[in-house]
Amino acid sequence: MPYRAPVSEFRFILDHVVDLAQVAATERFSEATPETVEAILTEAGRMFEDVFAPLNRNGDLHPAKLENGVVRTSKGFSDGYQALVDGGWLGLSAPAEFGGMDLPHTLTTAFNDMASASCLSLGLNPLLSQGQIEALEAHAPDWMKELYLPKLISGEWTGTMNLTESQAGSDVGALRTKAEPNGDGTYAVTGQKIYISWGDHDFGGNVCHLVLARLPDAAPGTRGISLFMVPKFIPDEDGNLGEANSLRVVSLEHKMGLHGSPTCVMQFDGAKGWLVGQEHKGMAAMFTMMNNARLGVGVQGIGAADGAYQHALAYALDRKQGKTPVEGSGAIVDHADVRRMLLTMKADLFASRCIALANAVAVDMQKAGAGAEWTTRAAVLTPITKAFGTEVGMRVAELGVQVHGGMGFIEETGAAQYSRDVRVTAIYEGTNGIQAMDLVGRKMMDGGEGIYALLDEIEETAEAARANLPEMGRALWQAAESLRETSEWMVAQTDMNVRFAGAVPYLMAFARVLGGHFHLKAAMQEAEDGPRRKLARFYIDRLLPDHTGLLAQAMAGAADLYALSPEELTA
């Protein structure tokens, strides 16, 4: 089924729901005019439809391979990546000083959404380079910026992030990779990293690894971690590639999905590296890249959801099976349960996409120096975007298989690929449980002020809707009040494990209420019989009520989680 880039959907959300105009009104992003936004979205959408989408199935059937130490990517992936380079797409939000367009990250978010929907395996590659560009811009010494950023922004070189080790997954502080000074300002980096997405490829150019490692005098835990640039090839001062560095791909992981994306085990044997940022402050530098990636990974889930939805909808509109109780085309789309699944997919896709784009707007306003409240807003929305976006991706892809019925379990239909590919997004860049713990932990250190500010905005929307959409406005206001009460309860808990026990349902309830907020904002832009009003009513009547049970779980405490002993769990 051909992929259709949702350009008009992005334009509606940017214009009427998340208010991109306020970003364009800043001096920093004044070039993001409506005409520019339209051109960017249209041209990017065309590329993803024509170039990326035809590669998606091929990447699944013909995975990347490691042959004689060289990673061979899926057929056509090199051409797909070259289309990114030729269009200058990697520099969309990158600094103009080093060759980028310096446009809002909100546009990059829409770009990543379409990349993930059309070919998630290949779309992961530019996502990593985007994050590395931001990390280097914020933390690298000037000479490194001047050498690496133009190459990364042009796409001539690609970037990776190397955190995980076999004994140090989510507990990054347990890493053992070491970096020893060479005496000339460089370091010898030694250790093994796993799960390195796009750790190598055959696209040409350089692969630039950002590697977390520990200096000889480092303290234990995350306080003793430093960050290093360790390139595949050691460049000279003009960026010409020299000798190969002392690193190699040991193997490629055999994965459930994302077969077209080479996920590498990387070995560093005294590889030459350069310090990024300050000694022992590597986590602060890496978190710049990780926060960028957390928004990006949430968007990967949303994009995959869009691909799965479009695939399932096309099948439902065409497949005839059984007598339907209503007059229509005779296709399975006329069955009530199929309609329920499709509407759930569409409604959650819209809700999660709005959350992600609102997150990106907050990031842009923060970059534009619009005030500390935008920094707080971005911080609160980031874990919600990542966790809810990927949960929606998994759920929509699963429903996509169900819409196909028995054929969904047959690989040739392509429905299963979306489910397999998107599954990892809930795991990497911090599992969704870790995102939820961050929300009820670090993001409540201000006493919940950032959360309450969002709730105030949601209730303002609910009040504004009471004139024309009273029932939906009342339902959203009540949901926001319930969320406020639970938030106050969370803030009051001094036992962090009590908070953590209810963190995931709390985050999901928050996302549900935010989704109602954005659906209602969209509905207020249309006439009484408009499709967005109908979709908003479906969401608020059928999906928003989930928050009640989720909030009850959030306040259930931790005692019942530990009531069964480990021995009783095995009984």
Give the whole-number percent of the chain exceeding pLDDT 90: 92
Which ranges in 322-371 belong to alpha helices (H)? 336-367
Model confidence at 539: pLDDT above 80: yes
User: Which one-letter DSSP state was computed for residue 467?
Assistant: T
Helix %, strand %, coil % of the chain (to 5): 60, 15, 25
**Helical pair 415-422 and 372-403, crossing angle rounded to 10 deg:** 140
User: Which one-letter DSSP state was computed for residue 521?
Assistant: H
Length of the chain in terms of residues written: 571
How large is the average pLDDT for residues 520-540? Answer: 95
For residue 285, the model assigns a pLDDT of 84
- Among the residue ranges 3-7, 91-95, 284-288, the one predicted with the least confidence is 284-288
Which amino acid is present at 457? E
Closest CA to 137 of 432, 367, 408, 468: 367
Q: How many CA atoms lie within 13 A of 529 on its CB side?
A: 0
Collapsing DSSP to helix, strand or coil, 387 comes out as: helix
**Model confidence band, residue 71 (pLDDT cutoffs 50, 70, 90):** very high
Q: What is the pLDDT of residues 361-378, one digit of tens each?
A: 999 999 999 999 999 999
Q: What is the pLDDT of residues 212-226, one digit of tens each?
A: 999 999 998 888 999
**CATH of the structural domain 432-562, one choice from 1.20.120, 1.25.40, 1.10.1740, 1.10.3470:** 1.20.120
For residue 3, the model assigns a pLDDT of 95
For residue 175, the model assigns a pLDDT of 92
Cβ atoms of 497 and 565 within 8 Å: the answer is no
Domain 7-154 superfamily per CATH? Acyl-CoA dehydrogenase/oxidase, N-terminal domain (1.10.540.10)
Cβ atoms of 172 and 194 within 8 Å: the answer is no
Q: Which residues are catalytic?
A: 429
Q: Which tokens sit at 221?
A: 């835990």
Model confidence at 1: pLDDT above 70: no
Q: What is the pLDDT of residues 180-210, one digit of tens each?
A: 999 999 999 999 999 999 999 999 999 999 9
Q: Which helix (H) or strand (E) holds 460?
A: helix 449-465
Q: Which helix (H) or strand (E) holds 497?
A: helix 496-501
φ, ψ (nearest 5 deg) of residue 279: -60, 140
Q: How far apart are CA 125 and CA 113, in angstroms?
A: 13
- First-to-final CA distance of the chain: 48
Mean pLDDT of the chain: 96
Q: What is the pLDDT of residues 544-570, one digit of tens each?
A: 999 999 999 999 999 999 999 999 999
- CA gyration radius, the chain: 24
In the block, which residue shows the tokens 């479906």? Answer: 538
Instruction: Count Cβ atoms within 10 A of the Cβ of residue 19 and give its class: 0-12 exposed, 13-18 middle, 19 or more buried.
Output: middle
Cβ atoms of 129 and 115 within 8 Å: the answer is no
Q: How far apart are CA 47 and CA 38, in angstroms?
A: 14
In the block, which residue shows the tokens 């169900």? Answer: 402
Model confidence at 105: pLDDT above 90: yes
Q: What is the pLDDT of residues 241-296, one digit of tens each?
A: 999 999 999 999 999 999 999 999 999 999 999 999 999 999 888 778 778 889 99
How large is the average pLDDT for residues 115-141? Answer: 96
For residue 571, the model assigns a pLDDT of 87
What's domain 159-280's architecture?
Beta Barrel (2.40)
Model confidence at 168: pLDDT above 90: no
Q: How far apart are CA 477 and CA 88, in angstroms?
A: 44
For residue 496, the model assigns a pLDDT of 97
How large is the average pLDDT for residues 310-323? Answer: 94
For residue 322, the model assigns a pLDDT of 86
Q: What is the pLDDT of residues 275-289, one digit of tens each?
A: 999 999 998 887 787
Model confidence at 456: pLDDT above 80: yes
Please count the other Cβ atoms lying within 10 Å of the Cβ belonging to residue 294: 26
Domains in the chain: boundaries: 7-154, 159-280, 432-562
For residue 76, the model assigns a pLDDT of 97
**Model confidence band, residue 44 (pLDDT cutoffs 50, 70, 90):** very high
